[in-house]
Structure 1
Amino acid sequence: MANLSITVIPSAQLVASPQLSTYVDFINACFGTGHKRFHCFGAARFVDLDSFRSEFSHPGCVLAVARDPKAGEIVAAGGYKPNDDGSVDLKCLSTAEHLEGTGIGTYMNTYIENLARDQGFTKINAVVVKEHGDLLGFYERRGYKSVRHERLDVGSPEVGGKNIVEIVLVHTQKDL
């Protein structure tokens, strides 16, 4: 994975970036794959650029964008948002569908954890939709522990009203 070209974009630069729609389109496409596969959500992860800007507006947020250096295409992305308790929330970990299972997701997760650790954060949180296949297993194999489960009815405001079936969010955490 060392052959990836990774750009880390801080919040202020990210929300004003002329490439913002490219990043959001990539993340939405990746999440859309899961939405189709698992039939849990009826709308894109981010319905517009303002919803993305809102999620990444905290001054400590970052997004890491990985590109294939030969083709220049985005192959993975992910970032974090700081919390007041010294932890960060993992945000938008995404891998291009044609590269799922190649280790890029693991590489990006570790990359983001290292970014957060280097900034002095002590824990990382990830919220996982239980109904998304083995996604919870992905995080558990990387050392995340379940801290609580949250059942959400159809159209729950916690996920922007986008879930079209009842889902369970599993809140996980890992020491950095």
Structure 2
Amino acid sequence: MTELKRPPLPHDFHPPVASFTVVSEDFEPGAVLKDAQVQAAGNTSPHLRWEGFPPETKSFAVTCFDPDAPTGSGFWHWSVIDIPVSVTELPTGAGSGKFEGLPEGAVQVRNDYGTKEFGGAAPPPGDPAHRYVFTVYAVDQEKLGPDSDTSPAAIGFNLRFHTLGRAQLLAEYAAPAGS
């Protein structure tokens, strides 16, 4: 039996940009996501804090993407744009649909679940572990332009042309077979 080839990560085909650092108090790089970040168990966005971004940054965007989702195009779990440059941390739960913990002016965009909030990990039971890529983008504009009804793919298109730097954290999660 041949091993399945994993899809590329979301930035593998984008132009190179400066890198900076993002960390989380809720998971370690490469670790398994905790139940809090799983759709059926907690559905809570993780804490994220970043530093070392380019000095010309004017705003930030944050996304969470699963390239391993069995869709042919991955799955967007979270997209937030227009985070003011003065904000370098989002608390645990900032991605709730109540918008608590998001800074004023930030725009939470529709995810692939169809909601404007963080949507937790939910791979099909028995699938190999899926990768969840949390990315912070340093953006060259205060306002990216799209509104909250814009698709995550269109947000990604805009970010491709307005990203000065990128930081990412990767975690994994697999739902047990039969769950």
Q: Please give the TM-score of this superposition, normalised by the length of structure 2.
A: 0.26
Query: Which of the pair has the greater relative contact order for Cα pairs under 8 Å at 6+ separation?
Result: 2
The structure richer in helix per residue is: 1
Q: Please give the TM-score of this superposition, normalised by the length of structure 1.
A: 0.27
